[in-house]
Structure 1
Amino acid sequence: MRTPMIAALAAALATTAYADDWQSTLEAARGQTVYWHAWGGDARTNGFIEWVSEQTQEQFGVSVEQVKLSDTAEAVTRVISEKAAGRDEGGAVDMIWINGPNFLTMKEQGLLHGPFVADLPNAQYLDLSDGAAAAVDFTVPVEGMESPWRLAKFVFSYDSARVETPPASMADFVSWAEANPGRFTHPDPSNFMGATFLKQALVELAPERGALQQPVTEDSYDATVAPLWAWYDALRPNMWLGGEAFPENESVQQQMMNDGEIDIAMSFDPASTAAAIEQGLLPESARVFVPEGGTIGNISFVGIPYNAANREGAEVVANFLLAPATQAHMQNIEVLGSFSVLDPSKLDAEGQAAFDALPTAPALPALEDLGATLIEPHPSWMTRLVDDFAARYTR
């Protein structure tokens, strides 16, 4: 169903004088079905993608089929296999929700279509300057090879009915757990949420944070992670089940918090706590906190494989995701609640008004409440960290 905001967007699009090349893209895309390979572990995100398909079908004749992944590497592996088999056209993967190590792999192996972002009409609303969040993915320059679509920032949630004062820093988790044994855990680091928890601690505890912005080396690794493992060894005995087992993912951890089994959970979506309360998945007393020094944040991107069968349709969908009306709809707590990737200074009055009119909720933090955004380490650090954790604690 077309909302007034989206109807206005469609009208604006219909009267826009597109450049000839973009008009050609629109014509070629009509009738295509874009197979968007995206993590399928969040019902609200899945619902948003369904809405995107409805809108792009209505406005451009382009439909979207979500191929739900448990791990983005599944889609990357498929593209790698197709290239090895010489399938350089008509690939099965049209678009991937991609970040970090997976983007680096595809970029280095020449598996991505592009650069294409600068050709998207709605890229005018992005800050694509050198070093800007929309131009860098886990320290790797994007160079137009993937398009941003949602902002992610690591946050913790806690039950304020049981926790008066949550940890003020990652270091403080040790003393908090000592005072509240068995009331904290984290997802298994084989899941990106558990890995992010370790990275958040690493960024705070590393003696030389700048080393994390460079590819990991044997010399830099040992010295940089030593404080992390010392911290974790002190934390682990007072964790849920003595740190011998972990919830599979954030959804399982959230359920544990809702059941009163633990008091703190975590997410890469600042709006997820408010959304979970609305859905009855967390108690009304749940609130969000971040360590005083800030938390890791990044932008989620979509990439188009070099051999995508429906490349034009994928570009149309990527462009639609950047429309101010789409971004405002996505940021609505009643829809998804993900913060926009657009540069507010580039919005006109109508675009800004769409964001100003969004509803709020007691457990929904304002952007200024989320503290500083810490830069993600180079992707090689996450890979090494997860392997090291498994060798130390789960094997």
Structure 2
Amino acid sequence: MKNKLFKTSLISSLAMVASALSVSSAFAEDVHWDDVVKKAEGQSVYFHAWGGSQEINRYLQWAGKELKAQYGVNFNHVKVTDIAETGSRLLAEKAAGKNSGGSVDMVWINGENFKSMKDNALLYGPFVSDLPNWQYVDKSLPVDSDFSEPTEGLEAPWGVGQLVFIHDTQSLNNPPVSYMEMLNYAKAYPNKLSYPKPPEFHGTSFLKSLLIELTDNDPSLAKPVDQADFAGVTQPLWNYLDEFHKVAWRGGKQFPAGTAETIQLLDDGQIDLAITFNPNAVYSAQASGNLSDTTTAYAMESGALSNIHFLAVPWNANAKEGALVAINFLLSPEAQSRKGDINVWGDPSVLNKQYLKGSAAKTQQFKSVAEPHPSWQSALEQEWLKRYGS
């Protein structure tokens, strides 16, 4: 899923507008779920979500057919490369006073995008605990916090993400299990390792994971960025990358566009490690013929950067009821079992395993490493682009 802080100037210009508006309650006391379902029938839901994965796109096509058949809801996947684009659109609609009939009904978000939308009062709710399928969610997962930001019922958990690496056991049976080992491997085998170019989500996640290990998870990473300390805290990261880029794929002058390209480069034998935020992505890629059966996923010894990704409804959605029905369906055991099927998408489920069927109930999860405070996302991206973006 994509994460990028909206333009600071745009947020600042709308801060007074946002602060003057409060988040409304999703359900009045006399409104029942049956009423929501009735109103949803015939509505068209425009769901803004990353469109960079064939497996995810096919899954959402299936979900759309089910929503149409079961509830009469027209479900439209609006494919975006970065959900920050949607955030900018919502901010513009708020600035224009468009408080109903909005162009976006539902969004796939987490991390910095959620905090930005929440801070600018762009989200409808709270609604999550009113969803009938909320009862199936595994409450032992951090479903009420998003990159340390309380969700307050404004977004529903949809899946679990973990930053892991994929390698081919035939060509590399002993992959690096720490970032220092990765640097040593890159020096020993030049032109065989890389990572997606920030601010692409997986590229920025790589930077955060690397920074956590290099600083032994400095306590400041759990707090808002302090510009006075930023240079000192991050210096080990830039020192590492200066060395890594010299021996990286294409000399660190070019970077893959995203996880899909790293998987393709791995399959072509150009690089030795692909990167993904889904431990089961390797199985989905194998099933679709994009990776050999000898590939497998693993996490660093210190653990895998982990988070929950969520679904939310904008405050001015034109099809609020349709969006709520869609989110509730996507939280159903039926939809979560299919999403977790390694032959479909393989996204780890947020439901208690007793409600899941097939391979979704057997998903492996690695030791978790918590995400830094959301403010580190943009700070790292901006500094990376300043140093290496040209």
Q: Same fold by TM (over 0.5)?
A: yes
* Kept in 2: contact 1:100–1:137 (CA 8 A): yes
Cα displacement string for residues 15-68 of structure 1 (whole angstroms, at most 9, x for unaligned residues): xxxx95111111111111110011100011111111111111111111210011
Q: State the match for 1:382 in structure 2.
A: 377
Runs of 4+ in structure 1 deviating by more than 2 angstroms, as ranges, are 126-129, 207-210, 357-360
Distance 2:110 2:217 in 1: 24
Cα displacement string for residues 90-125 of structure 1 (whole angstroms, at most 9, x for unaligned residues): 001000111111111110000100011011011112
Amino acid at match of 2:389: T
Q: State the match for 1:393 in structure 2.
A: 388
- When normalised by structure 2's length, the TM-score is 0.89
- When normalised by structure 1's length, the TM-score is 0.88
Distance 2:376 2:173 in 1: 34
For the pair 1:323 / 2:343, whether they are aligned, the reply is no
Distance 2:266 2:38 in 1: 50
Q: State the match for 1:268 in structure 2.
A: 277
Q: Secondary structure at the match of 1:64?
A: strand
For the pair 1:283 / 2:283, whether they are aligned, the reply is no
Decide which of 273, 298, 305 is 1:296's aligned counterpart: 305
Amino acid at match of 2:104: V
Q: How does 1:305-344 map onto structure 2 within 5 Å?
A: 305-344=314-353
Q: Which ranges in structure 1 are unaligned for 5 or more consecutive residues? A: 1-18
Decide which of 55, 61, 77 is 1:44's aligned counterpart: 55
Q: Secondary structure at the match of 2:257?
A: coil
Cα displacement string for residues 328-385 of structure 1 (whole angstroms, at most 9, x for unaligned residues): 11111111111101134xx4xxx2xx43x3389xxxx952xx4311111111101000
Q: State the match for 1:13 in structure 2.
A: none
Decide which of 164, 173, 190 is 2:173's aligned counterpart: 164
* Kept in 1: contact 2:49–2:78 (CA 8 A): yes
Q: State the match for 2:143 in structure 1.
A: 134
Q: Secondary structure at the match of 1:167?
A: coil
Q: State the match for 1:213 in structure 2.
A: 222
Decide which of 366, 375, 387 is 1:371's aligned counterpart: 366
Amino acid at match of 1:138: F
Q: State the match for 1:104 in structure 2.
A: 115
For the pair 1:120 / 2:131, whether they are aligned, the reply is yes
What is the aligned-residue RMSD (CA, Å)? 1.7
Q: State the match for 1:204 in structure 2.
A: 213
Distance 1:147 1:122 in 2: 10
Report the Cα offset of residue 209 of structure 1.
2.9
Amino acid at match of 2:157: P
Report the Cα offset of residue 207 of structure 1.
4.3
Q: State the match for 2:184 in structure 1.
A: 175
Distance 2:321 2:216 in 1: 47
Q: State the match for 1:147 in structure 2.
A: 156
Q: State the match for 1:237 in structure 2.
A: 246
What is the count of residue pairs matched by the alignment?
Answer: 361
* Kept in 1: contact 2:349–2:360 (CA 8 A): no
Amino acid at match of 2:229: S
Report the Cα offset of residue 128 of structure 1.
4.7
Cα displacement string for residues 209-235 of structure 1 (whole angstroms, at most 9, x for unaligned residues): 322111111133223212212222222
* Kept in 1: contact 2:106–2:313 (CA 8 A): yes
Distance 1:179 1:37 in 2: 43
Between the two proteins, what is the percent identity of the paired residues?
Answer: 38
Q: Secondary structure at the match of 1:309?
A: coil
Q: Secondary structure at the match of 1:78?
A: helix
Amino acid at match of 1:71: D
CA 1:121–1:220: 2 relative to 1, 3 Å = farther
Q: State the match for 1:253 in structure 2.
A: 262
Distance 2:170 2:161 in 1: 27
Q: Secondary structure at the match of 2:143?
A: helix
Distance 1:165 1:85 in 2: 56
* Kept in 2: contact 1:186–1:194 (CA 8 A): yes
Q: How does 1:50-65 map onto structure 2 within 5 Å?
A: 50-65=61-76
Q: Secondary structure at the match of 1:392?
A: helix
Decide which of 193, 198, 201 is 1:192's aligned counterpart: 201
